[in-house]
Structures are given as C-alpha cells and as structure tokens.
C-alpha cells in the first residue's frame, strides 16, 4: 500500500475492466450522490455491469452504474440506474472529451472507494483489447504463476 492509499476503504473493484481493456491512464474523481446511495454503497450493494463515463455539455457523467436502493430508505430512496455526475476540474473534462473523441478511447470505472468518508471513483482511460491480447495476458499470467510455484518448491 502506497502512502497515497492510506486511509482508503475499497468498496468495489472492476476486475473485468483490466481483462477487457488496456488501461492507459487512471485518475480520481468525486461523485455527486444522494444520501441513500452513499449508505447503500457502504454496504457494498453496487454493480458495475457495463458502466462507462462520457462527457456531455461540459460535464462528466457515469452511466449504467447500478446502486441498489437502500433497504431502510423510505419514499426518498434513489433510482438505481440514474446518471451520476462525476466531479473533476474543467480542464480535465476538456482533455477527456478530446481524448475520447479523437482516439476512440473509453472511460471505464476501475474502483470505488471511501477517502475520509467521501465516496471516490477511479476512472480509467481505456482501449479495448482484442481476443488475442486477452489470450496473451492469460498466457503471461500463467507463466508467472508457474515460475513463482517453482521458486516456492525449492
């Protein structure tokens, strides 16, 4: 754990993202949430599915991200699949818009975590992998596992 990761409680990791995409760069952003969404996320009741981020009218949004309604919430409970606004600097939003339009990259959520009680999202600038890239990654991972196994035996 690095010094910047101290005081962080990870709520969810998107393991499929690293399998389906090669991540060029990642960055932290805040989220605009309702109270019941935060409580539900702290219970771990969230699902990535095929969620992604995009820039619309100078704002960064997260789409198809499911947060189950809070069990003890009443009529003020949130809608599970609503678009959620991500909070980043305006200069960063302009850069992300340019990168996703020009190069055909995608914004993929990598993990959600609590930092000092505030929910944060790590968003990655991702490029889709082809099938042979995925096979190559699996092959490399298996070879690394075999080497580690050999060292443990000796």
**Token digits of residue 143:** 């070879």
Mean pLDDT of the chain: 81
Please tell me which residue, 20 or 60, carries the higher pLDDT value. Answer: 60
CATH of the domain at 79: 2.40.280.10
Is residue 123's pLDDT more than 80? yes
pTM higher than 0.75 = no
Condensed to tens digits (0 to 9), the pLDDT of residues 81-101 reads 788 888 889 998 888 888 888
Q: In terms of Cα–Cα distance, which of 116, 109, 117, 121 is closest to 30?
A: 121
154 in any annotated domain? no
36 in any annotated domain? yes
Is residue 1's pLDDT more than 50? no
Span 128-151, average pLDDT = 80
Is residue 9's pLDDT more than 60? yes
Q: Provide the number of structural domains found in the chain.
A: 1
141 in any annotated domain? no
134 in any annotated domain? no
Condensed to tens digits (0 to 9), the pLDDT of residues 22-67 reads 788 888 898 888 777 788 888 888 888 788 888 888 888 888 888 8
143 in any annotated domain? no
41 in any annotated domain? yes
Range of the domain at 115: 9-129
31 in any annotated domain? yes
CA atoms of 110 and 26, how far apart (whole Å) = 8
150 in any annotated domain? no
Query: For position 70, what pLDDT does the model report?
Result: 76
């Amino acid at each position: 754990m690095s010094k910047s990761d101290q005081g962080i409680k990870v709520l969810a990791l998107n393991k499929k993202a690293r399998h389906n995409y090669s991540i060029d760069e990642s960055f932290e952003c805040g989220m605009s949430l309702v109270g019941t969404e935060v409580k539900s996320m702290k219970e771990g009741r969230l699902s990535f599915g095929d969620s992604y981020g995009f820039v619309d009218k100078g704002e960064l949004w997260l789409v198809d991200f499911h947060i189950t309604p809070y069990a003890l919430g009443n009529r003020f409970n949130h809608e599970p699949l609503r678009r959620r606004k991500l909070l980043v600097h305006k200069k960063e939003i302009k850069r992300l818009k340019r990168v996703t339009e020009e190069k055909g990259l995608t914004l993929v959520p990598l993990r959600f975590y609590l930092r000092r009680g505030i929910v944060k999202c790590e968003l990655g600038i991702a490029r889709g992998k082809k099938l042979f890239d995925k096979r190559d990654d699996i092959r490399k991972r298996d070879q690394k596992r075999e080497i580690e196994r050999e060292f443990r035996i000796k």
